[in-house]
Structure 1
């Protein structure tokens, strides 16, 4: 499996393209905006979009999901159903964060912990990792030791928990019990900022060592 990060929206959100080298089928994870930029990346690599995956319902991650799904006639998978209230409130999020108004959507498939997502010859594991939002999910490709973790964990930081139905203790439990269990040698793509490894964050992230938070 190969991947490309495509920063989108004024929040520089790490929209991510995963693709199968054998079939050239791809998924776009968290198309928050800037559809033309995403489509150019797909065209450059000569990829066929198979489906859209969503980690959680915040607008910088999900704002362009409805438009991209309609444009490319593809299905939407994720997040967990506990984030339905965020997705239903896309118009309100637009006003709250100063984004152009975007459409709400209903995923073709809500995801649960332990589910699998497939495209081409690739299969991703789904981990339900609440805390930042109640329905946040993570996508993990075990053979590549690569995870897209959305806003759960960042290099040197963790996701915010001051939004509606966020919870700090739940977030820390998701990181320590779900993410760190994948192994120290797993690379992860966060929702914003540079990549890191789970081992680096387990050892040095101040929000997980008790120095902050």
Structure 2
């Protein structure tokens, strides 16, 4: 008797499953259809954005002039990419050179020769080149980078920055010279007396 009941129960279960299969298949088909619709919408949106961007570039609607104020998207993209790249590539730890008076003085001279025209001199107004740059070059004599990690400054001196007027000095200054410039910028607000005097009064540097 127990076997008969078990057999009947099994048959009922199989019958129920058999009746549920079409419903399950129908539900799966509907889900697949909704997923296809969603993915098609996403793809269409991506294509539309790409086409609009290409048209904007082709029609000259994206400013390419140096005196145009950058948009929020451009500013965000440039700053985010720069920050991430520096965090990945900057030298870690202490500089390989000591901030000696000799290194700081050499760094000051290299700054004068290569950087001052854009980033300013002590007590001087920005040059015509600095005022015409896009993006605006920070005036390091007034608003320095003493609080930035030395490795970050060294990376900027070495590689420059895309979409700005900042050049890369990897091919024009050797590694020691790039570190000397970095040390000068790092210690610009705490220079030895002789270097500070030469920095503030160029005529007295010799």
Q: If the TM-score is normalised by the length of the shorter chain, which range does it land in?
A: under 0.3
Structure with more contact order per residue of length (Cα contacts < 8 Å, sep ≥ 6): 2
Higher helix share: 2
TM-score normalised according to structure 1 size:
0.21
TM-score normalised according to structure 2 size:
0.22
